[in-house]
A = this chain, B = another copy of it.
Amino acid sequence: MRPILLHEDRLFPVDEKTRSIARALYQSVRDLPIISPHGHTDPSWFAKDSNFGNATELLIKPDHYVFRMLYSQGVPLESLGIPRWDGGESETDPRKIWQLLADHYYLFAATPSRMWLDTVFHNVFGMTDMLCSDNAMEYYDHITTELAKPEYKPRALMDRFNIEVIATTEGALDSLPHHSAIKGTGWDKRVITTFRPDDVVDASREDFVANIGKLGEMTGEDSHSWAGYLNALRKRREVFRDHGATATDHGHPTAATADLALQDCQALFDRVLTGKSSAQDQELFRAQMLTELAGMSVEDGMVMQIHPGSFRNHNEALFKKFGRDKGHDIPMQTDYVKSLQPLLNKYGNDPRLNIILFTLDETVYARELAPLAGHYPSLKLGPAWWFHDSPEGMLRFRHQVTETAGFYNTVGFNDDTRAFLSIPARHDVARRIDCRFLAQLVVEHRVSESEAAELAVQLSYKLAKKAYKLG
């Protein structure tokens, strides 16, 4: 018997009683609309609604989950067509690159990339055999041909995927041309932006000083004074809200926060504006800014997402050759208890504040995050993130978080991806795993079937909509 590319019971537990409950719960949420409140798709796709390119351009070259695995097994990034920063050559034949993926597809056994890709191949393109060396060109041609059809344009796929709303992520200095283009068309309700000010908050960036200058120009504020800088941020937030944003996002290396006196803020800002500040000052500035930004969220109601804990660009040689986001960001141990206290002491009890915490360090689920979210009214927990956005990672999240934080201090799933075609696959994995977790609670008589039915809808749809104020 030929192996099935995608089994309808995938990810459900083997026990028949549990599986049948998981299956029933899943049936009840499978077709709910997708809320995608945090991600990295390109807004121009939805504004221009042009067809995507070939299979390789769409499915390999932007997906660092895919090429990091190939690289770890000795496949040079050049041969995968990853463009070089240093002017060197990279493979340009998309067929050769696709063949390389097919030849190494066995490496992905039991990884989430494999499940996402198989789901895309099967559900979006109708493939039924597993990708392998022999059928690589058949796959490539079929996918590339399909992509050229009208029903594969971005907006058609938004409908086919039943995506109710999708948030992109833009830097503070982005003029939001694509969101402006759809303004008033109705699509502005479905495609919204998110305010990510790392470019004007993280003084360790080479472009930080220049960015502060641009911030002043864009807003008409004196962005080199502490008060003017904060006002400029407030104005940018307003522009983002005017383009649909309900949330902000902050990708600092740590979760450090601070609450300095006003004169210390100005002095610190002056030091980082020199462009020659110490690493400690840069860290303190990011810490102070998280607290300032929380204060702005109290004012304007934007939901604040904190995503700490990634050691960016660990591989310096690769960074020089290929740049950022090439699969060499590595998670680090991350503290939340002491780090967040200054911010929480200032705003943590304010009912107007909504912070969603993420982590790459699973040791904090039961030890720090669940106890914090199970106490502070301003805190909720984002889903298992990045390396942990996987069946096992999601199960660990629920098993370690639920007993202390419950379900209602979590915010449903978000896909955090630039791989547009994989969005339904990712939400499908989350829905299957949550239904599996709930089914286990039912058969062990820890929640009733009717509670589980309501919780399945909450975890798949309602909690995300409420937490991100999208309702």
Those of A387-419 within 8 Å (CB) of chain B: 387-388, 390-393, 399-400, 402-409
In the assembled complex, A257 has its CB within 8 A of some CB on chain B: no
Docked-complex contact B360 and A367, CB < 8 angstroms: yes
Docked-complex contact B311 and A109, CB < 8 angstroms: no
Docked-complex contact B371 and A345, CB < 8 angstroms: no
State A270–B13 Cα separation when bound (angstroms).
61
From the candidates B11, B361, B388, name the one contacting A445 in the complex (CB within 8 A): B11
Q: Which residues of B contact A13 (CB under 8 A)?
A: 444
Docked-complex contact A11 and B351, CB < 8 angstroms: no
From the candidates B3, B366, B375, B449, name the one contacting A393 in the complex (CB within 8 A): B366
Q: Which residue of B lies closest to A314 (CB)?
A: B341
CB proximity of A118 to chain B, nearest CB, Å: 10
> 1/0 contact trace for A24-63 toward B, CB 8 Å?
0000000000000000000000000000000000000000
> 1/0 contact trace for A373-396 toward B, CB 8 Å?
111110100000001101111000
From the candidates B311, B363, B408, name the one contacting A107 in the complex (CB within 8 A): B408
In the assembled complex, A125 has its CB within 8 A of some CB on chain B: no
Most buried by B among A333, A366, A404: A404
In the assembled complex, A317 has its CB within 8 A of some CB on chain B: yes
Docked-complex contact A337 and B348, CB < 8 angstroms: no
> 1/0 contact trace for A435-460 toward B, CB 8 Å?
00000110111111111001100000
The oligomer's copy count stands at 3
Q: Which residues of B contact A448 (CB under 8 A)?
A: 3, 130
From the candidates B3, B315, B332, B374, name the one contacting A349 in the complex (CB within 8 A): B315
Q: Which residue of B lies closest to A17 (CB)?
A: B14
State A69–B409 Cα separation when bound (angstroms).
9
CB proximity of A34 to chain B, nearest CB, Å: 23
Stretch at the interface among A71-79, A193-201, A286-294: A71-79
Those of A102-144 within 8 Å (CB) of chain B: 106-112, 115, 130
Stretch at the interface among A81-89, A170-178, A230-238, A323-331: A323-331
Q: Which residues of B contact A408 (CB under 8 A)?
A: 73, 106-107
From the candidates B17, B337, B345, name the one contacting A332 in the complex (CB within 8 A): B337
Q: Which residues of B contact A404 (CB under 8 A)?
A: 111, 387, 390
In the assembled complex, A362 has its CB within 8 A of some CB on chain B: yes
Q: Which residues of B contact A337 (CB under 8 A)?
A: 311, 314, 330-332
Q: Which residues of B contact A4 (CB under 8 A)?
A: 445
Most buried by B among A7, A331, A345, A361: A331
Docked-complex contact A315 and B344, CB < 8 angstroms: yes
With A315-B376, A446-B115 known as contacts, the answer to whether A387 contacts B370 (CB < 8 A) is: yes
Q: Which residues of B contact A361 (CB under 8 A)?
A: 367
Docked-complex contact B9 and A447, CB < 8 angstroms: no
In the assembled complex, A221 has its CB within 8 A of some CB on chain B: no
From the candidates B18, B109, B330, B391, name the one contacting A406 in the complex (CB within 8 A): B109
Docked-complex contact B403 and A110, CB < 8 angstroms: yes
CB proximity of A63 to chain B, nearest CB, Å: 14
Docked-complex contact B18 and A14, CB < 8 angstroms: yes
Those of A308-326 within 8 Å (CB) of chain B: 311, 314-318
Q: Which residues of B contact A344 (CB under 8 A)?
A: 314-315
15 examples of A-B residue contacts, CB within 8 angstroms: A3-B451, A10-B444, A11-B444, A11-B446, A14-B17, A69-B374, A72-B405, A106-B454, A109-B406, A109-B407, A109-B451, A316-B345, A317-B349, A329-B371, A332-B337
7 further A-B pairs in the complex, CB-CB below 8 A; given A314-B344, A391-B403: A3-B449, A11-B446, A72-B405, A106-B454, A110-B441, A130-B448, A392-B402
Closest 7 CB pairs of A and B: A7-B445, A3-B448, A10-B445, A14-B443, A390-B403, A331-B367, A330-B371
